[in-house]
Structure 1
Amino acid sequence: MQETILSLCPGDWADYELIDTGGFEKLERFGEFILSRPEPQAIWDKSMSDQEWKKLAHAHFAKEKNNPEKGQWEQLKRMPHNWNIAYSNSEGLSIKLNLAQTSFKHIGLFPEQAVNWDYLYKTIKKCPVPNPKVLNLFAYTGAASVAARAAGAEVTHLDSVKQVVTWSRHNMESSGLEGIRWMVDDAMKFIKREARRGNVYQGIVLDPPAYGRGPDGEKWVLEEQINEMLKVCAEILDKENHFLLLNMYSLSFSSLIAANLIKTTFPKIENAEHGELYLNDKFDKKLPLGIFFRFSSF
């Protein structure tokens, strides 16, 4: 298997900008609104002063002492609770995404994933199978699902949280699209059922969390279950015309781990690429935000 190792960063995006990073925080612009949020990877110093950050930010997420993922938003300037931004590329992809301040510091969008939306759109457009079937597991608010649908795929979007599936539907409708199949289910249970039924997909997208729960409390631990999940995915991935995109965000994982997982599960793959996703702030500091592995037969 020949493979290419890459570090990928989204290009120019009118509605998004990473302004500064450091001090375990990041300062970002989403449309016309600027937010400061915790970022465990940003262990270096900020390039701008705390006063400059506060002057720019519309809101700041103050985390709880014992749980960095939970906390509350401090409103520093007037801004709506919900708003939207647009994303487009030179290949013809154009989508609209709805954002909101949540109690878990997230706003419904991971900007570094834009390079994966580009990949999905371009790859699906090249697929020899008309309207290829694409399964998006751990699909969150569905930007990847919307990008795949925009490219003409028949998309099955699966997440264990009903509220984010509803959020995803809103993103689809805001983008002027329809027809995505929505599933609220445990990812492992679902793909095992699909394998038993003999269902096949031309494309599979996986973006699993480090830890999670299914709708009925099913436990998910990335390092314990991702190997088994990929084996089941191999059963339901079209043997002739296929692509797979794996994305993982874990402080302990490198893209070499993803490569080893793929090599031992899919011994004969083509057009393989793996590496890091990152965002570049205005001071040329590169913020690592996950690893990826992707391959395609076409």
Structure 2
Amino acid sequence: MDIKLLSPSCWSDYELIDSGAFEKLERFGRYVIARPEPQAIWNKSLPDVEWQQRADAYFKKDKKSEDRGEWICKPKMPQQWFVNYRYGEMNLRMRLGLTSFKHVGIFPEQAENWNFIFDQVKRIGSEAKVLNLFAYTGGATLAAKSAGADVTHVDSVKPVVSWARENMEASKLDGVRWIVDDALKFVQREVRRGKKYNGIILDPPAYGRGANGEKWVLEENINELITLCGQLLEGSNSFLVLNLYSMGLSALLARSIVRQLVGDCTGEQFGELYFTDSYGKSLPLGVYYRLWRK
């Protein structure tokens, strides 16, 4: 039982320049941004003055909120721009934007999972049906679609689903099934309908709200969600990907819950996703668990 650490290696449009003092300095395409990062508990390698010189946009947290804030931008910094990601025959183009929650529209460490999803769909074939839950702006959706899958994309936030559709069009893809709904309620209905999927991707937040205000708490709801996903997943020619971002949750926890509730598999991988900055500091950015069945 080996925990594998994975870091994307073919991201020409992304670079973790420096990290420390609970912040990270990153390059997305042509632009450099600085934003909070709770796991960067060490010291910065570059002085603050150089961060300020390099950063085209700097996120300033609202003193009254842990999550919200505003971006302080230099004149040349746009509110929106595009980055590209390539892997094999997959060629993605995604729009980025400066949001009040410090996010920019992609989680670049997820590129390792995009590669895995692309390869798994290619293995299964063009008949593969893939369900992406808590699908955000659609990186995993586009990876599956690029490989030829029939993809259902579920997220509870309508503007985010619209953003994902923009990314699909920018990537010159089409045919995704877009669903604005609470993930748990959607899965409950799919089980009642007797639906089956060859691939299921879960990227649940620690806390959230559904399309109609449904409350999501990871520790309270994850057991039921994965139980239902186990019923939706095909017994052969299938795969599952689970990401967990909540600090304190481990890859072993992800493995244990999926293996108990989903069952046997042909193979599995689990561990941490990370990037190493230019000064050799490895920043953990979430845990993952993957299984596949032949």
Where structure 1 has 5 or more consecutive residues not aligned to the other structure, the ranges are none
Whether 1:244 and 2:243 are equivalent positions in the alignment is no
Structure 2 residue 100 is the aligned partner of structure 1 residue 103: yes
Which residue of 30, 33, 36 maps to 2:34?
36
Give the TM-score normalised by structure 1. 0.97
One-letter amino acid matched to 2:135: A
Q: Distance in 2 between matches of 1:11 and 1:277?
A: 12
What residue in structure 2 maps to residue 232 of structure 1?
Answer: 228
For residue 3 of structure 2, give the secondary structure of its aligned residue in structure 1. strand
Structure 2 equivalent of residue 223 of structure 1: 219
Q: Alpha-carbon deviation of 1:241?
A: 1.9
Cα distance in 2 for residues equivalent to 1:205 and 1:4 = 22
- Distance (Å, rounded) in 1 between the aligned partners of 2:156 and 2:117: 22
- Residue 136 of structure 2 is aligned to residue 135 of structure 1: no
Deviation readout 1:113-143 (Å, 9 max, x if unpaired): 000000001111001x533100000000001
Question: Deviation of residue 228 (structure 1)?
Answer: 0.9
Counterparts of 2:161 and 2:80 in 1: how far apart (Å)?
Answer: 17
Query: RMSD between aligned alpha carbons?
Result: 1.0
Shift of 1:77: 4.2
Matched residues, number: 294
1:160 to 135, 146, 156: 156
Aligned 8 A contact 2:134 2:203 in 1: yes
Cα shift at 1:69: 1.4
Moved over 6 A (4+): none
Question: C-alpha separation between the residues in 2 aligned to 1:161 and 1:262?
Answer: 26
Letter in 2 for 1:152: G
Q: What amino acid maps onto 2:94 in structure 1?
A: L
Offset from partner CA, 1:65-105 (integer Å, 9 cap, x none): 2323100000134111110000002x221110100111110
Q: Find out whether 1:187 has 2:180 as its counterpart.
A: no
Aligned to 1:120: 117
Distance of 2:3 and 2:281 partners within structure 1: 20
5+ unaligned residues in a row in structure 2: which ranges? none
Q: Which secondary structure does the structure 2 equivalent of 1:167 belong to?
A: helix
CA distance in 2, matches of 1:55, 1:106: 21
Identity %: 51
SS in 2 for 1:166: helix
SS at match of 1:240: coil
